[in-house]
Amino acid sequence: MNLFILNALVTPGIGLIVWTTLVFILLIVLLGKFAWKPILKALKEREESIDTALKGAEKAKAEMAELKAGNERILNEARAERDALLKEARDTKESILAEAKTKATKEAERIMQTAREQIINEKNAAITDLKNQVATLSIDIAEKILKSELSNDEKQKTLVGSLIKDVNLN
């Protein structure tokens, strides 16, 4: 009895072999078409989309960093440019100031010079005028003196006498 059962246990039945073959092949075909194909496709797509998303995020991060670096660079550049502009302005201001100063000095000097020259000229003119007036006045005085000195014959004789006195007839 036991031997018979054991024999039955390890003897594959033809019916089950046929049915298993049929069912299993049918299962492979059905599942392959209606289940595994769409499921595996969806899984692959999802993984790819996750992968792409992750890579995209990584890329965005890198871009962000790059952008930040770019911003920093632009900011630095702007700062440098501002400094340069300020420096330039300062220089310009200084140069303008210096130039203005020089110009003013020169102008002042020129004006001074002109003034000086004018003063000298005026002075000279005044001196000349004065000289002339002094001369005229001297002449006038001399004339008047002469007139008064020589107004009578006495006086003329005295003068001539003094004059002759001084003259050495040698």
Contact between 57 and another protein by CB under 8 A: the answer reads no
What's the min distance (Å) between Cβ of 74 and another protein? 37
Contact between 16 and another protein by CB under 8 A: the answer reads yes
Rounded CA gap, 37 and 167, in Å? 161
What's the min distance (Å) between Cβ of 55 and another protein? 16
Q: Which stretch binds another protein (CB under 8 A): 35-43, 76-84, 118-126, 127-135?
A: 35-43
What's the min distance (Å) between Cβ of 24 and another protein? 6
Contact between 9 and another protein by CB under 8 A: the answer reads yes
* Count of other CB atoms within 10 angstroms of residue 150: 13
Rounded CA gap, 150 and 129, in Å? 30
Q: Which stretch binds another protein (CB under 8 A): 44-52, 76-84, 105-113, 145-153?
A: 44-52
Give the list of residues 6+ apart from residue 150 with CB closer than 8 angstroms, or none: 156, 159
Contact between 112 and another protein by CB under 8 A: the answer reads no
Measure CA 152 to chain center: 97
Contact between 14 and another protein by CB under 8 A: the answer reads yes
Q: Which is nearer to another protein, 9 or 163 (CB)?
A: 9
Rounded CA gap, 127 and 119, in Å? 11
Q: Which stretch binds another protein (CB under 8 A): 40-48, 55-63, 66-74, 122-130?
A: 40-48
Give the Å distances, CA to CA, from 116 to 9, 112, 113, 124: 144, 6, 5, 12
Contact between 169 and another protein by CB under 8 A: the answer reads no
What's the min distance (Å) between Cβ of 56 and another protein? 14
Give the list of residues 6+ apart from residue 86 with CB closer than 8 angstroms, or none: none
Give, in degrees to the nearest 5, the angle at Cα 69 between 63 and 72: 140
Give contact residues for another protein (rule: CB under 8 A).
1-2, 4-5, 8-21, 23-28, 30-32, 34-40, 42-43, 45-46, 49
